Amino acid sequence: MTEDTINKDTPWQELTIGGNIYTAGNAVEFKTGDWRSTTPVFIPEACKQCGLCFPVCPDDAIPVNKEGKREDFNYDACKGCGVCAKVCPFKAIEMK
């Protein structure tokens, strides 16, 4: 059994030892979107794709496509901290 299938009812015999996590990059599986009290809204018309918003996101909640352009928010991950809205020079992100 791996941590993918471990949940709150897993018996001790089935847990990884020491709580070790053997698959890296799995934070995406932990939905933190429901921690959010204010929500950023993306306004594509105002966006110049300057690239300032996604590097400052602490939760990697602003997906970037193959052309290097940002897309709409991943609300499963976004905690609504508002850093992206603060950093946007073009008022393309509005906190609601």
Partner 1 sequence: MGIRERLSGNEAAAIAMKQINPDVVAAFPITPSTEIPQYFSTFVNNGQVDTEFVAVESEHSAMSACIGAQAAGGRAMTATSANGLSLMWEMIYIASSLRLPIVMSLVNRAVSGPLNIHNDHSDAMGVRDSGWIMLFSENNQEAYDNLIMAHRIAEHQDVLLPLMVCQDGFITSHSIENIELIEDDKVKAFVGKYEPKHYLLNDKEPIAVGPLDLQTYLFEHKAQQAQAMRNAKKVIADVSAEFAKLTGREYKFFEAYRLEDAEIAIVCMNSTAGTTKAVVNHLRDSGVKAGLLKIRMFRPFPAEEVAAALKHVKAVAVLDKADSLNGAGGALFEDVVSGMYVSKVQIPTVNYIYGIGGRDTTEKDITKVFEDLKDIASNGEVNNPYRYLGLKEEI
In degrees, rounded to 5, the angle at the alpha carbon of residue 77 between the alpha carbons of residues 87 and 49 is 35
Distance of CA 75 to the CA centre of its chain: 7
Q: Which residue has the tokens 């001790």?
A: 12
Per the CB < 8 A criterion, the answer to whether 86 and 78 are in contact is: no
Size of site (CB under 8 A) for partner 1? 15
Min dist. Cβ of residue 34 to partner 1 (A): 18
Min dist. Cβ of residue 2 to partner 1 (A): 11
CA dist 14 and 28 (Å) reads: 23
Which of residues 1 and 95 has its CB atom nearest to partner 1 in the complex? 1
Which of residues 21 and 41 has its CB atom nearest to partner 1 in the complex? 21
Min dist. Cβ of residue 48 to partner 1 (A): 36
Residues 3-42 that bind partner 1 (CB under 8 A): 8, 10-13, 15, 17-25
CA dist 93 and 41 (Å) reads: 5
Q: Which residues make up the interface to partner 1 (CB under 8 A)?
A: 8, 10-13, 15, 17-25
